[in-house]
Amino acid sequence: MGMGLGPESERSLYLGLVRTIPGLFVLIAPLIGGAIVEVVNYPVMFLVALVLGLVGVRNATRRQNSTRRKRELTKNNDSFA
């Protein structure tokens, strides 16, 4: 195993999926957004996007703080070993 990507025989499949899936979302997301805006008015969509964006920022900062705390705990525990 190299680079933590799994067995070498499956690495190309993994990398292909990692590169393809975001590209598909870039293509599909505007279509889905347009269809939703046709059903629901634009201000409602703006509020939904705003709430989802704020939840995403909150989750990202929580994860960052959690990772930072884990590193600090590991660093402190290593100094006692």
Give the whole-number percent of the chain exceeding pLDDT 90: 25
In terms of Cα–Cα distance, which of 5, 2, 22 is closest to 14?
5
Token reading at 15: 């990398």
User: Do 47 and 35 belong to one domain?
Assistant: no
Q: Which domain holds residue 65?
A: 41-81
- Contact residues for 36 (Cβ-Cβ < 8 A; gap 6+): 45
Confidence class of residue 56 from pLDDT cuts 50, 70 and 90? Answer: very high
The total domain count for the chain is 2
pLDDT of residue 54: 96
Least confident stretch, 37-46, 48-57, 63-72: 63-72
pLDDT digits (tens, 9 = 90+) for 15-34: 888 889 989 999 999 998 88
User: Which residue has tokens 């996007």?
Assistant: 49
Residue 36 has pLDDT above 50, yes or no: yes
Which sign does the torsion angle of CA 27, 32, 37, 43 carry?
A: negative
- State whether 80 and 45 are in the same domain: yes
Query: 32, 40 in Cβ contact below 8 A?
Result: no
What is the model's pLDDT at position 2? 46
